[in-house]
Structure 1
Amino acid sequence: MAGISPKGRAFKNMSDRNGKNKEVYVSSLAEYDSDSDPSSSSDYESARQSLSPLAQAQLLAARSISEYQQISSTLLTKDALLLDFACGTGPLSQRLASRVDSILGIDVDAAAVQQFNTRARNQGIEENEMCAIHSDILTEESLVRGKAWFGKVDVVASAMGFHHLQDMAAVTKILVDRFLKVDGWIAVVDLMHTPYTSAIFANAKKAMASHLDKSGHDHDHLHHHSHHVGGIKAEDIRHAFMSAGLDCVDIFEHVFDISVMVPRRLLPEDYSTNEAGSSSNGHTLSAIPDGGKVEVLLPFLFAVGKKL
C-alpha cells in the first residue's frame, strides 16, 4: 500500500495553553451537541448498549477528541492531517474522517491494516483521503514506510493503543520527532489504571494463561498482551509526553466510563460496591456467588499535548 501524499497546514495557537478550560471540557461531555458529530443522536445511549465494550470505548474516544475541539479550536480542522496510531481496523479513523482532510493509520497488525484499507475502499474513500500502513515505528526500516508524512501531521490520535506499548516514552518521542509538525497535537484516549482495574486485568491474565495451558488455544479478548495491565497511569503518560518535548500537556481522568460484566472470581477481595457500581440485580458484592458476574465501570483518561 503506497502512502498518502499529505497536504498539511499549521495549526493556530491554542487560546488557553494553561489548561484553564479543563473544567469546561469535562462538564461539556454530558451536553454534547448532537449536530456536531455524526455518531451522536437522540438515541445514542440505547445504541451504545448494543456495542461491545471495546466498540463503546472507540466511539467515546472519538467523541472526546471531537469535544476537545470545542475549547481548543485547533485540535481538529477541515484541512488537518491526522495520524491514527495503533489504528486497528479503523474505528477511530472512520468516526473522525469527516472532520479532517486526510488520515494515515499505522498498526503493527498486518491483518488489521488490511481490514482498515478494505473497509475504506469499500466505502468509496480514496487512498489519498484515508489509508493505513503496517509498521512498527520503533524499527527504522519499518518506520520509513510512513516517510511521506514525516513532519506533516497536524494531529496524532490514538484510542486504546497506548496501554499495549512497552515503552510509551520512546514511541511518543518518535511520533513527535518524526511525524508531528510544529503546533501539532497528540491526543490519546485509553483505559485508566486504578488498583482495581489492575487487579481485575491481572486476574484475567492469570485465568487466561491457565486456560491456554489446558487448551493450547488463545481465546482472550481482554488484551492479555497489554504491557500496562489494567490501564495507563496519568503520571506515566504525562512523563511520556513531557519527555518527548510536548507542551500544553493536560490529562483528564475519568473522562468517561464503560460498563462491563466481570466474573466475580476476577475481582479483588476488597472490591467495594462504590468502585464496582451496582450489580445487575442490585445485590451487594458479598451476596453474589463466585460464579456470578458483577457490573464494573472501567474508567478512561484523555491526554493531550502540543509540539511547540
Structure 2
Amino acid sequence: MQQHIHWFPGHMAKARRVIGEHLKLVDVVIELLDARIPVSSSNPMIEEITRNKPRIIALNKADLAEAEWTKRWTTYFATQGFSVVALEAVSGKGTKNLVSLVEQAAAPVIERLVAKGIRPRPVRAMILGIPNVGKSSLINRLLGTATVRTGDRPGVTRGQQWIKIGRNLELLDTPGVLWPKMEDQTVAFKLAITGAVPEEVYDREHVVDGLLTLMREHYGSMLTERYGLSVIAADNTELLSAVGRSRGCLRSGGLIDLEKARMILLNEFRSGKLGRVTLDQPEESTDSE
C-alpha cells in the first residue's frame, strides 16, 4: 500500500470531550468492534478515555467474520480480563447475552447504591465505537424498532440521547463516535475496505488493488466461486477485468468498465457476499503490543 489514507474529522475530536463529560453518568462502557478487524476498529486511547470503567467488548458483524477466528478473539479478550460477546446487530443474535453482561458488570455499582439506602435505578451504559461499526443498528435491535437514525456512511449518527431498554437498562448514545487509528497504513487499508472511513479520504483504485492482492493470496476460492473464474489471474488488472466481465460491466466496444467492477467488488466484499473474512488475528495484536 503506497497510498496514504488520513482522516481525523473535527467532530471526532469534539466527541472525545463529550464522551469524557458523560462518562461519570454511566456504569458500564460497551466497546463495539468489527469482528472482522477487532484491532483495527478499536480506538488506540480507549483505556484512557473510559477511565477504568467496566468495559465489555462486543464483536459486531460476526456473521461477516470467520467463525473460528471470532472464537479465538473471544478467548483472547477474555484472557485480557474483559467480558466479551459476538454480535450480529442486524439479526439480533447475541444481543440478549450483551444485555446480561452489562447488568452483571454493573451489579456491584447498583449494590453499593442500595447499601447506601438509595433506591435501585436502571443500569446506565455507553456504547462506543468507530464509524460504521453498527452502533445504531445495535440500538435499533435492542429497542426492537428503527427509531435511531442509521446509515451506511461513516459518522452518520448525530446528537446524543438516552435510550431506555426494558426496565433495567439505559443507553447513552454518544455523538460523533470514536476515531480509528489511522497512522498505521495497514490498519487504514483494512478500515477502507470494510467501509469504516469515507470514500473521499482514499483512492478507490489503490484500495481495490490492495483488496485484490489480499483476496488472491488468502481467499482466492471466494473469487472463483463468486465470479465463476476458472483461474485467478496473477495481474490485478486482469483479475479485476475478469470480475467485471462476469458481472456484465461492459462499455461500448466490449471494454470492461473497471470502475464499476471496483464498486461491485467492494460492495460484495463488505456485505459478505464473497464469504466470511477476518483481517485481524489475535497474534497480530499481541505483536503490536
The TM-score normalised by the length of structure 1 is: 0.36
Q: Which has the larger radius of gyration?
A: 2
Q: Which has the higher helix share?
A: 2
The TM-score normalised by the length of structure 2 is: 0.38
Q: Which has the higher strand share?
A: 1
